C-alpha cells in the first residue's frame, strides 16, 4: 500500500508536468529573473510546448484543433495506464514465480533503454514518438512492482520509485539535448533553445 500510494502520487505529479512541463523549474526561474530584472521574450510563439517551427513538426500533434506535445501526450497516456495497472495490482494481487517478476524487471529496463534510444536518434513519425513515450511510465510500474515482489520490502519499492524519477529526469535531459541539436541545425536565426538556455544559465 505504501509503494502503490507513492507510485500513484508520482504519476499524478507526472501528469501535471505533462500538461504544464517544467512548471516547478519555471516558477524558480521566474523568481530569479524577477530578482535580476531580466525581461527576455521568446522570438517565436510556442504550440504544443514547442516553437512554431517546421523543424519541430514531428514533436506536435493536433487533435480536434488542439495542439499537443507528442512526448507529453505519450507521458500523460502512460501515466494514466500505469495508475490503472497499480490499482489492479493492489486490488488483485499477482501470485507468480520470482522468474516472472525478474522477466518483468528486465522488460522494464529494456523499454527504458528503447525510449532513450528513440529520443537520441530522433523519431521521424509523431505517432511513434507518442507510443515510445507512453511506454515509459508502464516500464516504471513493471520495475517497481517487480522489485517490491522480489524483495518483499516496501522500502526497496520506494527507493525504486526514486530511481525511476532519475530515469525520467534523464529522459527530459535527453529531450532538451535533442531540441537544442534540432534548433542549432536550423537555418533560421531565432535559435529558441540554445541561446535562451545560455541566458538562463548565466542568470543562475
Proportion of the chain above pLDDT 90, given as a percent: 42
Of 29-33, 99-103, 144-148, 170-174, the poorest mean pLDDT is in: 29-33
Could you give the 3-state DSSP secondary structure of residue 46? strand
Instruction: Kindly give the residue spans of alpha helices, DSSP state H, lying in 54-135.
Output: 70-91, 98-121, 126-134
Bridge partners of residue 28, in order along the sequence: none
Q: Dihedrals φ, ψ of 47, to 5°? A: -135, 125
Q: What is the mean pLDDT of residues 186-192?
A: 69
Give this prediction's pTM.
Answer: 0.79
Q: What is the mean pLDDT of residues 152-167?
A: 94
Residue with cell 535580476: 36
Of 85-89, 90-94, 196-200, the poorest mean pLDDT is in: 196-200
Calpha distance 78→73 (Å, rounded): 9
Does 128 have pLDDT greater than 90?
no
Could you give the 3-state DSSP secondary structure of residue 22? coil
Calpha distance 162→91 (Å, rounded): 24
Amino acid at each position: 500500500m505504501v509503494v502503490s500510494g507513492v507510485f500513484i502520487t508520482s504519476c499524478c505529479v507526472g501528469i501535471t508536468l505533462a500538461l504544464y512541463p517544467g512548471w516547478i523549474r519555471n516558477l524558480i526561474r521566474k523568481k530569479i529573473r524577477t530578482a535580476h530584472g531580466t525581461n527576455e521574450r521568446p522570438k517565436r510563439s510556442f504550440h504544443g510546448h514547442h516553437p512554431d517551427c517546421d523543424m519541430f513538426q514531428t514533436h506536435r500533434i493536433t487533435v480536434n484543433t488542439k495542439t499537443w506535445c507528442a512526448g507529453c501526450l505519450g507521458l500523460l497516456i502512460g501515466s494514466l495506464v500505469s495508475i490503472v495497472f497499480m490499482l489492479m495490482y493492489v486490488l488483485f494481487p499477482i501470485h507468480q514465480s520470482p522468474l516472472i517478476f525478474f522477466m518483468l524487471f528486465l522488460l522494464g529496463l529494456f523499454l527504458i533503454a528503447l525510449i532513450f534510444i528513440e529520443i537520441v536518434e530522433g523519431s521521424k513519425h509523431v505517432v511513434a514518438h507518442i507510443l515510445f513515450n507512453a511506454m515509459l511510465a508502464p516500464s516504471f510500474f513493471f520495475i517497481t512492482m517487480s522489485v517490491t515482489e522480489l524483495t518483499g520490502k516496501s522500502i526497496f519499492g520506494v527507493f525504486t520509485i526514486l530511481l525511476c524519477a532519475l530515469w525520467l529526469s534523464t529522459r527530459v535531459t535527453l529531450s532538451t539535448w535533442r531540441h537544442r541539436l534540432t534548433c542549432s541545425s536550423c537555418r533560421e536565426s531565432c535559435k529558441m533553445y540554445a541561446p535562451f538556455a545560455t541566458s538562463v544559465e548565466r542568470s543562475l
